[in-house]
Structure 1
């Protein structure tokens, strides 16, 4: 006998029946009890505490809240999986010798899972979340086959038993948002461990030491642990480590030199480690490193960075580095593709050595308030983001000089409008021909510049954030994509611009639009606004739908003609004026050009 999710009539009959008179043979046949989470718990008068006593074949128990009126007095030995969210009692009567495989609990009032040890050779998965009353995770030495242990948002958890560090088959270990945790296992001695997460544990002062046998660990997350002052030198034993995240460990002072022995390490994130005092002497030997994030981290050696020949992504944001501080020769960074120098208040002009980074695809200079000119960019640049560079007064003709540049964000750079030549260059970015160049190669493009006027080639434009387009019959076979334009009073990179497409009388949205239809008066547009143009290939629509609503492009196939309504907004504001333009295949047939060489990751 099974009670499966959705069988409400069976569940209701159970709660109306007295278990004292229920057929004992029928109870012994029960293998699974699943109460749907959406079932109204207020209608349930819970079972008695001995409800499971005769259910010797019960394998699965997935229930919520007060399934029993009092703490269960008994759980069957054959039980394989327990999911009991909002469990209202202080302990769980797991048998001393249990066949349990998995235990999941969220928002439970458990104070202790069990006392002493329990013999549980089959236990593999434990996931405990928001157990605010739990202060100590117990001894699991008699549960040697645990593979995944996640303790998340257990705010009063102070200690995790030493036995956790000796689980031979443990693969994933996570202690996440445990605000009072300060006694994790002192040592990790498990050969099978692959991921270790110690995230946002602000009371944690040390992390476990590692034994030489920990050779499979590939990912180590220790971010937002604000009291950790150093990493253990035993980190050298993590020979397979490829990802190390120490973001916002604001008290971190020491990184052991032994980190340089990790030849598999590809990504190091040290953003926000503002008290870091030392830099490993042999850091330049980490020739396999591909990503390095040093934002808000003052202690680093530029010469070491120039020797990292495999480095692809480098983040030096929030560091005050003048042009004179940059090495004159960056030839060693031959693989660098993304460079972030945002919020640097010492940068006045772009260091000349950056122009020789032949593989650089993305350059971010947002918030560099004193930079005055942008010129001599790397020849293969694809993305340039220099928003809110308030002193920027000189640029090149970016849309013509760099054939691969498809994303240019210059909003908040209002000084550019004071120079007549700059105005010509900005106008070139908004030309129909620049957009058609990317339409011809089926590539998204995005331009944001200071201004308040929509280009005249947008035949459909109006005040407000919403506009409609009349599509030709059999439009799906004729179009390449859509160009959408919006004028905004203020923009920020932290809140992306949303475009919402829907056919009239159809609920087809990409992505979700905030439900606010208040009309915006276009007269509020100012000269300090921003003009934004985005080109979206029709071929990308299927992916956009999949990402947001599991919506397939084929759902549009039956719409042969009609009005396509487009909404343009960002967080907290809507476009003051918007425009839209359909790009048909015939519009770009005359464009003769070779495809620019670009990377799909930017």
Structure 2
């Protein structure tokens, strides 16, 4: 569109003007003279005319312009604070920055023909933000950039042809907080000195990104003691195999990102973080921590793929996540556990289809043992509860009374569920509507006599495909959690594509010694917000203690599921919403506690 320049001449009070794909015809001297903010996408000229009245301009945005140079000759813009020339693919020359003495923000993203930067940039004493992302032909940065004492953010990601970058310049930027160097050839710029360079970055840094810089394990320093203020670190898409030692010592880091590290096999000794990104680390097998995470409750209660501070998908080989789960072939499971469950003929167990939490592929796998928190499970083909189970029931729920035992205590329960697919189309529509939902099945053990409840949401589970599946699990309890005479209900709820056919219960007993009670691991009682999952089991809650809490249960159901619905599939969305809300609440409280602790420190 072509407009006459004098069309704006009488707009004396115009402060903000946004033009896009517009060409002005005539003298620019008659253009509006009091503009504060000019945004002109696709500016058609190769330079800004000298008669353009920009003396009052504070913000100048000319993205996708045809500019080759900003101005011809000299033009001082003392009021200009923000200059954005992003995606100006013809820009080859930048004006003398001395004419923009008060510039605070300079954005030159994707100016692909820009080769160098005028040394006068060092005179911008108020420059806070500088982005030259994806300036692919940029060869060097002037060494006097260290004079930018106010600079807090420097983004040079994608400047893949940089052949000179002064370490001294970076080290002397004493107020720099954000440094993004994605895809910069660090190992080529400083051959043999990569670790030395990374350990010489300014101590003021809060966020560092070296995504895709071709850094191997040996390219990282022994420690990041110089980066005591670092809170966020992105080392994604690098050929590292293990967690670099320097990352273990980052005491204040909140977010660690390792996306697309396809050779990464283990993260052993992770520091405590709020946010972890391990997406598409296809070789990753093991994650452990330096010490117990402050979100340990979340690792017990919720699968990681719905925990809001963890992004993990495309990790088909992840078999161990400390204090969350561990998967190993059934032949390697501890012999005592095998005997405890009465398993035999392990070699003859046929492979079954297994759902893995971080992989969309559903392939046949050998039978495996799954440790989650303090519970063990295994899935294998079979169509009936084993004969050694003392209590059996058709359907998805079983009630029983704990027997009175002489000189014995109840160490735990073995729970067995036989289930099948209720839909022949399961493998085709499995991900429709349930992707990201916490588990596909849930078990609740409820001691009605003591008012205690336990839940299990396995992340790995067998998928029926022409055969029934047996889910066999062992639950450990503290001595006082199960005693003779206790009324107990065990229930299993599954989504619409699975159907529970039979349940079985077996008591695990141990002889009581007079002076040495056997020590058993405590299986934690879940916090009150987990009781929101009880709407999945509301057909059992007709006893007196449940009626006393009828109002609370009704509130839970009104939030989590449609009124009167007992169908698990209709409640899945509510289930996800409630668990995510609980996670967010826990995360918020933990962060608040951390802030209070730091303020006291």
Give me the TM-score of the superposition, normalised by structure 1: 0.52
Partner in structure 1 of residue 426 of structure 2: none
Partner in structure 2 of residue 302 of structure 1: 221
Matches within 5 A, 1:95-494: 102-110=16-24, 114=27, 122-131=34-43, 133-139=44-50, 143-154=54-65, 156-161=66-71, 166-257=76-167, 258-274=169-185, 277-278=189-190, 281=197, 284=200, 286-298=202-214, 301-303=220-222, 305-323=224-242, 326-327=244-245, 330=247, 332-351=249-268, 354-355=269-270, 357=271, 359-376=272-289, 378-380=291-293, 382=295, 383-398=309-324, 410-412=358-360, 420-422=368-370, 424=372, 453-455=440-442
- Structure 1 gap segments, 5+ residues each: 1-64, 83-100, 401-407, 430-446, 458-483, 488-520, 526-534, 539-559, 568-574
User: 1:66-105: CA deviations, max 9, x gaps?
Assistant: xxxx9648557553256xxxxxxxxxxxxxxxxxx55432
The Cα of 1:331 is off from its aligned counterpart by 6.2
The Cα of 1:241 is off from its aligned counterpart by 0.8
Q: CA RMSD in A?
A: 5.1
Task: Note if contact 1:268-1:293 (Cα within 8 Å) is conserved in structure 2.
Answer: yes
SS in 2 for 1:210: helix
Number of equivalenced pairs: 382
SS in 1 for 2:590: coil
User: 1:114-157: CA deviations, max 9, x gaps?
Assistant: 57x779864433221134x3332222686433211110222x33
Greater relative contact order (Cα 8 A, min sep 6): structure 1 or 2?
A: 2
1:412–1:74: structure 2 CA closer, same or farther, 3 Å change rule? Answer: closer
Q: For residues 254 and 242 of structure 1, what CA distance do their matches in structure 2 show?
A: 21
Task: Note if contact 2:103-2:124 (Cα within 8 Å) is conserved in structure 1.
Answer: yes
Give me the TM-score of the superposition, normalised by structure 2: 0.52
Q: For residues 577 and 31 of structure 2, what CA distance do their matches in structure 1 show?
A: 68
Task: Note if contact 2:74-2:99 (Cα within 8 Å) is conserved in structure 1.
Answer: no
User: 1:521-562: CA deviations, max 9, x gaps?
Assistant: 98799xxxxxxxxx9999xxxxxxxxxxxxxxxxxxxxx999
Task: Note if contact 2:104-2:128 (Cα within 8 Å) is conserved in structure 1.
Answer: yes
- Structure 2 gap segments, 5+ residues each: 296-308, 327-355, 378-433, 445-456, 461-494, 500-528, 533-554, 563-568, 596-601
1:594–1:561: structure 2 CA closer, same or farther, 3 Å change rule? Answer: closer
Q: For residues 189 and 421 of structure 1, what CA distance do their matches in structure 2 show?
A: 70
Q: For residues 127 and 425 of structure 1, what CA distance do their matches in structure 2 show?
A: 56
Partner in structure 2 of residue 12 of structure 1: none
Partner in structure 2 of residue 79 of structure 1: 11
1:576–1:259: structure 2 CA closer, same or farther, 3 Å change rule? Answer: farther
SS in 2 for 1:597: helix
1:599–1:419: structure 2 CA closer, same or farther, 3 Å change rule? Answer: farther
Greater helix share, structure number: 2
